[in-house]
Amino acid sequence: MAYATVDNIADDVIVRLSQVPGVSVQTYATPTIRQAIISHFRIVALEEWWEHLMYWQTFAVSAVTGVPTTDFSGLAAPVTEMRNIKAIYRTDSIVPIPKIHSRVLPTMVTGTTAKFYEPEANQTTLFRILPVTSTSAMTMRYRYVPSLPLNTSEVPFDREYMTLAGVYDYLEDDGGNPGQTEKFRHLLNLRMEQLVMGNNDHEIPLRADGLSVSIPNQWYES
């Protein structure tokens, strides 16, 4: 799916602002609008686990240190922050392994089957698997948030939301038309509600192990 670029959205913002009474948009304002778009994207990307920003990655771990052998910062869709990892699984399980409690001594976790993960201050591997002698193959579900380094970079998010965000940000800073500022704040929040609803509008099993639950095909007397 092709997304609008930073410049595409900035142009949309300028068109919308030109329709607001009492607001003038000069050429020098364009860099400010671009930066507002990038800032809003970085914030909104972390608001939800947006499905279109999510990836799966299978990896192996060292059976000596428990550290992943994959450099996560070097992936095509890299991840360098623990907050962008939603879940970590053994590849033979649909239930994610939990984060180890801070009061649990890692050396007390033994065996060869992955039971916990522990975050680490390393931007290439991010965490280690416990026990460190684990030989389990692993998979993680994570979020990729692109940095948008260029004006021609595509912004992987809803174009209407990003346009409204840019307009609202400009009007809020301008302060010359409170009525229009409130109008676009309302539209921005409404669009976010629609996007969140759409992102969560799927059939989701009530149990994490839902795939193993048999579905009755006839009535039974209780």
What pLDDT score does 175 carry? 86
- Give all strands (DSSP E) within 49-169, no chain letters: 54-59, 85-90, 116-119, 127-130, 138-143
Type of residue found at 219: W
Say yes or no to pLDDT of 202 above 60: yes
Say yes or no to pLDDT of 216 above 70: no
pTM of the model: 0.84
Is 99 exposed, middle or buried, given 0-12, 13-18 or 19+ CB atoms closer than 10 A?
A: middle
Question: Using 50, 70 and 90 to split pLDDT, how confident is the model at 177?
Answer: confident
- Please give the share of the chain, as a percent, with pLDDT higher than 70: 86
Query: What are the residue boundaries of the structural domains of the chain, listed by start?
Result: 6-45+147-200, 51-143
